Amino acid sequence: MGKPSRIFVLTGSGISAESGISTYRGGADGEEGLWSEVDFQKYASPEGFSEDPEGVHHFYNVRRKQVREVQPNSAHYALAQLQSKLRESGGDLTLVTQNVDDLHERAGAEVLHMHGEILKGICDMCPRPAFEVQGDLHISDGCDACGRIGTLRPDVVWFGEMPYHMEAIDVALSKADLFVSIGTSGAVYPAAGFVQEAKMRGIKTMELNLEPSDNAYAFDTADYGKAGEVVPRWAAQWGVSL
Ligand code: APR
């Protein structure tokens, strides 16, 4: 059997860790994740936002500034190069990320952000499409489209909300011949369930992570280490060289 040519890749915060972005639940080296420092129910739920909107805006303003200051790492570049190589040869790589940073696209990849994008904002009260946030968001801001004050929020999918692109994800998964999960703990659904869906469809599954994830048992193969090392090593079999 030849090498897989229709690959579905799911990434999580571990792929951006070496770029300097905190993970949510930490890693094997004892580093604390974001959710052990702050309460995710306050900063990642619609209820938390309605209780303290300016506090939640501040949390995302700080993180948005940090995203603007960091750079993609070799794992982001390897995936972007592999995506374009596969597409040139008639295959495909669908890249789905849970990350709200823009490091995949800055590395040159096309990506579906299932948990939204921190650099964008939406209005809770009007159908205006997501817009680029210039600087920060505040409760005193008005919506350029509907004129209401205090209705803007980060375009980030919070707990209890429906992730984006679920239909496109289902279609891409049904066409894949390999499912690869990179830098995610497997703690948050529906993304954590993609490996089981892949298995049910007879698709091979692989995990590339710092350590075995919560659903490591479900993967056919795995390579454990830092994404900046294991992802380029894996992509090299298609001729990717950084
Ligand atoms: N290389 C590869 N993996 C790493 C690295 C690294 N350099 N550093 C840490 N990891 C791994 C950790 O071992 C862990 O398994 O990345 C994973 C990060 O897991 P989480 O912090 O839970 O992040 P993620 O899986 O992306 O979280 C999913 O949770 O709060 C929500 O919406 C948020 O999208 C996020 C979702």
- Whether 169 shows a pLDDT value over 80: the answer reads yes
Instruction: Kindly state if the Cβ of 194 falls inside 6 Å of ligand 1.
Output: no
More confident residue, 32 or 80: 80
Which pLDDT band, with edges at 50, 70 and 90, does 28 fall under? Answer: low
- Whether 190 shows a pLDDT value over 80: the answer reads yes
What pLDDT score was predicted for residue 2? 83
Average pLDDT, the chain: 96
- Whether 87 shows a pLDDT value over 80: the answer reads yes
Question: Which of residues 156, 182, 205 is at a domain's end?
Answer: 156
User: Across residues 15-24, what is the average pLDDT?
Assistant: 94
Sheet strands side by side (includes 152-156) = 131-132, 116-123, 152-156
Instruction: Kindly state if the Cβ of 38 falls inside 6 Å of ligand 1.
Output: no
Which pLDDT band, with edges at 50, 70 and 90, does 70 fall under? Answer: very high
* Interval between CA 239 and ligand 1 midpoint (Å): 27
If one counts the domains in the chain, the total is 2
| CA trace torsion 72, 116, 178, 221 (10° rounding) | 70
Q: Within this chain, do residues 225 and 238 fall inside the same structural domain, yes or no?
A: yes
SS3 230: helix
DSSP one-letter code for 38: S
Q: Within this chain, do residues 28 and 133 fall inside the same structural domain, yes or no?
A: yes
- For residue 191 the two structure tokens come to 């993304």
Please, which residues bridge with residue 128 across strands?
none
Q: Within this chain, do residues 218 and 144 fall inside the same structural domain, yes or no?
A: no
- Whether 27 shows a pLDDT value over 90: the answer reads no
What pLDDT score was predicted for residue 85? 97
* Interval between CA 149 and ligand 1 midpoint (Å): 35
Q: Within this chain, do residues 124 and 6 fall inside the same structural domain, yes or no?
A: no
Question: Which of residues 133, 156, 179 is at a domain's end?
Answer: 156
Instruction: Kindly state if the Cβ of 73 falls inside 6 Å of ligand 1.
Output: no
Q: Under a CB-based contact definition with an 8 Å cutoff, are residues 205 and 214 in contact?
A: no
Q: Within this chain, do residues 96 and 29 fall inside the same structural domain, yes or no?
A: no
- Whether 143 shows a pLDDT value over 70: the answer reads yes
Q: Where are the beta strands (DSSP E) in 100-165?
A: 112-113, 116-123, 131-132, 152-156
- How far out from the chain centre does Cα 120 lie? 14
Domain that holds residue 99: 1-21+72-115+163-242
